[in-house]
Amino acid sequence: MIYIHVPFCVRKCNYCAFNSKVGDVAEQQAYVEALIREINLRADDSTIETVYIGGGTPTTLSIVQLEKIIGAVRKAFSVDERAELTIEANPGTVDGNYLRGLKSLGFNRLSLGVQSFDDGLLKTLGRIHDSRAAIETVEHAKIFFVNVSVDLMYGLPGQTLNHLRRDLEHVKALDVEHVSIYGLEVEEGTKFFELKNQLPLPDEDTCADMYDLITETLPAFGFRRYEVSNFAKEGFESRHNVGYWTGKSYFGFGAGAHSFDGALRTSNVRDVATYIKGTEPIVEEVVTRQAAMEEFCFLGLRMTAGISAQTFSKKFGASISEVFGAVIAKNRLRGLLEVDGDRIYLTTCGMALGNEVFADFLL
């Protein structure tokens, strides 16, 4: 698995705490060169089954720049011919020609940062697109890609259940294959954080109703929930993200990107200018057996399929009930976890309170 971070955006959104910035042409070009340098330096004979270019807004780069990046990846690694190649794109940064270019580079999955189809909410968020651009981009994307995902947000200032109902209707009408949902979190360092006390945020009960509306409506529209925040038509689950939740190793290239080789977790320097100058990845953590067991559980439980007790034993040489028996029993009693033969998974209620359950698995 490979993740490539492109930190540039046209404008910084009001809620954004991601590693992203507005970059000029020279900085973008220098960044692409630094990325290629890093990819070449870390080349090995791994077979790659998924590549994910995220950001930021990767589609602020030109097709030629993306071609160079993907070309470097193909040269440095053995990319499987059936690999899933995803790129994130934002409405307002792509047109038909650009999408055709992405397809010609081998991308076969497009993840669109729509967030909402409501003009007022998009403006509040500080997005560069309006509802019309969102619809047109999805319609265009559907011409070139059979696998299109959209991101939707809830819990936004001024958002009502009716806004959300209309967003979900748009998703249905546009016939996309995958939806990721994000509840707004007002994070430090964002414009929203500065205005925190003035934002007309929906109260906790309304947010819970919004969450219920999403988790009930999307399955009724033919999307199967396969993870806490992700819904897909059959066969369109994100292979890349499933890889993270099942503990696969991955390379992360670019500013702030993380890597995991099965034992060691490393990260690149976050600052774009420093990354361009070139620095070694920083070792963040040697993943101990204990930490690996915890991760196996709290990442695997994010998926509706849950975790397999047998896989746990094979991987760690210990039975899951020996290590986490008390945690599993406690959460079963609370109605948050279910055990069915070999599988242990979150109940619907457990999905809503996932963070509480995950925290219990940290011994």
Give the separation between CA 184 and CA 334, rounded to whole angstroms. 27
- With 0-12 / 13-18 / 19 or more C-beta atoms within 10 angstroms meaning exposed / middle / buried, residue 18 is middle
Smallest gap, in angstroms, from Cβ of residue 331 to ligand SF4? Answer: 33
Our CB check for ligand SF4 shows the closer of 86 and 90 to be 90
- What is the C-alpha separation between 180 and 115, in angstroms, rounded? 9
Query: Which of 86, 90, 124, 137 lies at the binding interface for ligand SF4 (CB under 6 A)?
Result: 90
- 254 is a contact residue toward ligand SF4 (CB under 6 A): no
- Residue 306 token pair: 């849950």
Interaction of residue 122 with ligand SF4, rule CB under 6 A: no
Could you tell me which stretch among 51-59, 72-80, 290-298, 323-331 binds ligand SF4 (CB under 6 A)? 51-59
Q: What is the Cα–Cα distance from 167 to 171, expressed in whole angstroms?
A: 6
Minimum distance of ligand SF4 from residue 127's CB (angstroms): 7
Do 259 and 251 touch, CB atoms closer than 8 A?
A: yes
Q: What single string gives the DSSP state of each residue in 196-261? A: GGG-----HHHHHHHHHHHHHHHHHTTPEEEETTEEESTT-S-HHHHHHHTT--BEEESTT-EEE-
Tokens of 99: 């999408």
**Binding residue (CB under 6 A) for ligand SF4 from 23, 56, 157, 243:** 56
Q: Least CB distance from residue 236 to ligand SF4, whole Å?
A: 22
Applying CB under 6 A, the span of 12-20, 159-167, 309-317, 327-335 interacting with ligand SF4 comes to: 12-20
101 binds ligand SF4 per the rule CB under 6 A: no
CB of 126 to ligand SF4, least distance (A): 7
- From candidates 4, 13, 99, 181, binder to ligand SF4 by CB under 6 A: 13
Which segment (7-15, 68-76, 220-228, 289-297) binds ligand SF4 by CB under 6 A? Answer: 7-15
CB of 32 to ligand SF4, least distance (A): 18
Question: Residue 334, interface with ligand SF4 (CB under 6 A)?
Answer: no
Question: Given the DSSP bridges, would you call strands 337-340 and 307-308 parallel, antiparallel or unpaired?
Answer: unpaired
Identify which of residues 159 and 331 has a Cβ nearer to ligand SF4 in the complex.
Answer: 159
Does residue number 229 form part of the binding site for ligand SF4 (CB under 6 A)?
no
Is 55 near ligand SF4 (CB under 6 A)?
yes
Q: Which residues contact 227 (CB under 8 A, 6 or more apart)?
A: 241, 242, 245, 302, 303, 304
H or E element that contains 351: helix 348-352
- 321/233 Cα distance (integer angstroms): 34
What's the min distance (Å) between Cβ of 210 and ligand SF4? 19
- Residue 18 as a binder of ligand SF4 (CB under 6 A): the answer is yes
Q: How far apart are CA 186 and CA 183, in angstroms?
A: 10
Q: Nearest distance from residue 207's CB to ligand SF4, in Å?
A: 19
Q: Is 308 helix (H, G, I), strand (E, B) or coil?
A: strand
113 forms part of the interface with ligand SF4 (CB under 6 A): yes
Rg (CA), the chain: 21
Q: Which residue, 148 or 327, has its beta carbon nearer to ligand SF4?
A: 148
Per CB under 6 A, 57 contacts ligand SF4: yes
Q: Specify burial of residue 321 (Cβ count, 10 A radius: 0-12, 13-18, 19+).
A: middle
User: Least Å distance between CB 28 and ligand SF4?
Assistant: 14
Residues near ligand SF4 (CB under 6 A) are 9, 12-13, 16, 18, 20, 55-57, 90, 113
